[in-house]
Amino acid sequence: MISLNKSAPLSVRLVLSLCIAGVFAPHSWQNLFLLVLPFWAWMLRPQGEPKTNIGIWGGCHILLWLWTLTSLGWSDHQDEAITELLSKTQWVIWPLAFMALQPWLAAHRRWFARCIWVSAVLIAGICVADVLWRSSGPSSWFQDLVYENLARASGLHPIYLSMWMLLALVAYAQDQIFSPHDRNLTPHDGVMPPPNQTQSAQGWHLAYILFTVVMVTQLSSRMAMLTGLAMMGVFLVILIRLGKFQWSIAGGMALLILIPWLLIQANAVNSSRVSEMVDLQADHSSNRWGGRSLRMAKWKNTLECYAANPILGTGAGDFQTDLDQVYRRNQLETGYINRFNSHNQYLQTLATLGPVGLCLLLLGLLYPLWWAWKEQKWEALMVFVIILSSMLTESMLERQKGLYIVGLLGNGYFWGMLQPSRSSQDDTQDPRSHAA
């Protein structure tokens, strides 16, 4: 084992920074980075450091990949199955890489969080500048700053960029509000009320929250808006559990809901998309934006696809072909022509890998959620609330960007909050170790 103890703090920061930058990188760059990442991470591991147990979280991911590999045995379309298998190798890469980095992560949690929220600010600025540059003039700016037009420069679909903005809000709170460095607490403590802060600091916190609310609203991801509401609900539950609930806080959060409502009403694309979501009478054939009724049609067809293979599922190579046949049989031509997936990760995993695959996916997500609640790791709890919610209306793990974000943030927050080893405790106690 190569000993890199002296350079590890700087090297770990570089690894974490590249991980965050990779979210917005082209797929070819992501693949190259993911190929190098696990080897690099294990080289950085302190010499003599005992191996960390892979645990339920990492074990479920690796078992899910192995079950996908096994499904090649009952997949007819082997080329598609191998492509699917190779794309899902991230299920193995992220747990192994972060397991290797775990001795350092407790000391670098704040850096990890800062890279996340700073990246969100930078990419938002780039996206806004791109729209203003392409817009016909100031009179069109507000109407143009929406949905795919706004997300274009990021290289992400609006739902993934919205998800990143919500995750960045959690990271901002961890870094700027609830950082253990600011309240003389260890990394194992749960979120506590922030210390008395200046009005200037409180103003910056409010500004960042408003920035997130406006960006998520203008990106017009309806699931992200609902996830934001779910985050508010979880936050109130946390305050109640800590005995810190105040009606003034609830009132302030209610006022935050007014801003998205006003933005939605004033923007034509936003208004059309949200109206389509809440219209309970509309048929999927009249959906312009792939709203509620079209998604429900996809879900029903996915369940019918699963019913034909209730034990093992279709296998990794046959899911889309089998689903297209169900679309055709049920005369859902738009699904057949566009080769829509399920737009629900849980249903798609069930149909593809059967009950075993779904159980592994749920265990790998619900275990860290339960663990974060039990251990009062509130930042991690919010991260997994966002991930779980986003998978309800999007097959997040069927696109490389989704796999990358879920793998990075899920493993990063989970491993970063585990009990630190002796080496990371020593780094935390010695301020000179951070100077690197």
Question: From the centroid of its chain, how far is CA 318?
Answer: 27
Most confident of 95-104, 143-152, 282-291: 143-152
Asked if 363 and 56 count as a contact pair (C-beta separation under 8 A), the reply is yes
- What is the rounded CA–CA span in Å between residue 216 and residue 159? 9
pLDDT at 419: 53
E strands, 306-384, in order: none
- What residues contact residue 201 under an 8 Å CB cut-off, 6+ apart? 176
Percent of the chain whose pLDDT exceeds 70: 86
Is residue 2 predicted with pLDDT exceeding 50?
no
Asked if 397 and 357 count as a contact pair (C-beta separation under 8 A), the reply is no
pLDDT at 430: 40
- What is the rounded CA–CA span in Å between residue 24 and residue 388? 22
Look-up of token digits 């309240």: 183
The mean-pLDDT minimum among 209-213, 312-316, 325-329, 409-413 falls in 409-413
Is residue 420 predicted with pLDDT exceeding 50?
no
What is the average pLDDT across 210-238?
Answer: 93
What digits encode the pLDDT tens for the residues 358-412? 999 999 999 999 999 998 889 999 999 999 999 999 999 999 999 999 999 999 9
Nearest to 256 by CA among 209, 224, 216: 209
Which ranges of 71-198 would DSSP assign to H, the alpha helix?
78-87, 90-105, 109-134, 141-144, 147-151, 158-172, 180-183
- What is the rounded CA–CA span in Å between residue 173 and residue 188? 16
Q: Which one-letter amino acid corresponds to residue 213?
A: V
Nearest to 222 by CA among 153, 272, 168: 272
Q: How far is CA 51 from each of CA 26, 54, 96, 407, 409, rounded to the nearest angstrom?
A: 33, 9, 11, 21, 22
Is residue 120 predicted with pLDDT exceeding 80?
yes
Helices vs strands, H then E, count in the chain: 21, 0
pLDDT at 202: 84
Is residue 18 predicted with pLDDT exceeding 60?
yes
Nearest to 341 by CA among 326, 357, 360: 326
In our burial notation (b when 16+ CB lie closer than 10 A, e otherwise), range 394-430 reads: bbbbbbebbbbbbbbbbbbbbbbbbebbebbbebbee
| Per-residue pLDDT band at 3 (split at 50, 70, 90) | very low
What digits encode the pLDDT tens for the residues 228-239? 999 999 999 888
pLDDT at 192: 45
Is residue 422 predicted with pLDDT exceeding 80?
no
